[in-house]
Amino acid sequence: MVRRKRFFPKNVLKQMICVPAVLVLVALVYMFCIHSTVRQTVVFDVLPGDTVSGVAGRLEKNKLIDSQQVFKMAVRLNGGKIQSGQYDIPKYASSWRIADMFASGDVASTTIVIPEGLTIKQIKNLLLQSSALTGAVECKKGNNAAVCNLKDGQVFPDTYTVARGANRLAVLDLARKKMKSVMDYWEKSNHRLPRPLKNWNEAITLASIVQKETPQVREMPIVASVYLNRLNKGMRLQADPTVVYALTDKLGDMQGRPLLRGHLKIDSPYNTYKNKGLPPAPIANVGQNAIRAVLNPADTNFLFFVADGQGGHHFSRDYETHKKNHADWRKIKKIKNKN
């Protein structure tokens, strides 16, 4: 039997079939994963309720893609859904990259720093100044959520990374929850409080005074010991920051005005020059170091301290030494004021 010769050799047929398939595959990879019309990093908002078609139309209008169909297919291949938020679309991002970002919720982030020692009023002012956040810092009338009734001592100062465009109240609530977790951990640990403190509120109240008195971590346990020693002896705390808190309607900042001797007579439960014991509640929001200082104070018999002009303090056991230290501080202050 005579075999007929094939018009094309077998290997040639395979090549004729494979080459177009490879070319199609390359074209698809290029369209989906390589081709880009994005020439610089662009901020793009996907709003709650946006549809894939609506987003595709806006992307094309802004020249971030040149084919709505390709983008929609990329979205389908990434699960078919997109998440709302603000996105930084990078330079040369392909349709696939953009669809993947939107599907995974890879939103742009921002860092919010809440410093230690600020009051609730100061923290709210700080958040209002951040253009990376949105929304108000006060709740609507009738909202009884925990974040709507924040008091000093209930927020944990820290660095928070949140989505750009995050709600300001949500950031506040994040800081509130972190402080609550610190309190819950303390309660579960059965940590004994130094005498005469009786509960968490008293510990955080004293920590807030320590926080306002010194920025130096190494000094905090010593400052805490001074106030604990005074409490145990029935002496008034005579802490200037408590007077400032009362004078400024809980803002905690004299805004450049000096604290005068006459201010020490203000009638307020927060005035520790007039009232014995701790004030009724914290006067600021405290960090971990101030809390640790109160829970583990230094073992001293100091009863007084005054600024040393170098960012720290001179500590003393008796009033005579304290008077001398205070006189030295007045001289230093006078020289500084002249300069």
Residue 4's pLDDT band (cuts 50, 70, 90): low
- Position 329 scores a pLDDT of 82
More confident residue, 261 or 11: 261
Q: Please tell me the distance from the alpha carbon of residue 86 to that of residue 140, in angstroms, as a whole number.
A: 25
The per-residue pLDDT for range 54-100, each reduced to its tens digit, is 999 999 999 999 999 999 999 999 999 999 999 999 999 999 999 99
Q: Which residues in 140-151 are b (16+ Cβ under 10 Å) and which e?
A: eeeeeeebeebe
The per-residue b/e assignment along 158-191, b for 16 or more CB within 10 angstroms, e otherwise, is bebebbbbbbbbebbbbbbebbeebbeebeeeee
Nearest by Cα to 83 from 68, 98, 71, 94: 98
Which DSSP symbol is given to 314? E
- DSSP string across 109-168: EEEEE--TT--HHHHHHHHHT-TT-BS-SSPPTT---GGGG--TTSS---EEEEETT-BH
More confident residue, 29 or 52: 52
Give the three-state DSSP class for 92: coil
For residue 330, the tally of other CB atoms under 10 A from its CB is 11
Mean pLDDT of the residues in the chain: 90
CA distance 167 to 143: 16
pLDDT tens per residue across span 196-235: 999 999 999 999 999 999 999 999 999 999 999 999 999 9
Domains and CATH numbers, the chain: 27-104 (3.30.1490.480), 109-189 (no CATH), 200-338 (no CATH)
Task: List Cβ<8 Å contacts ≥24 apart for 225-228.
Answer: 225/297, 225/298, 225/299, 225/300, 225/302, 226/300, 226/302, 226/303, 226/304, 226/305, 226/315, 228/194, 228/195, 228/196, 228/197, 228/297
Find which of 2-16, 35-49, 226-240, 320-334 is predicted with most confidence, using mean pLDDT. 226-240
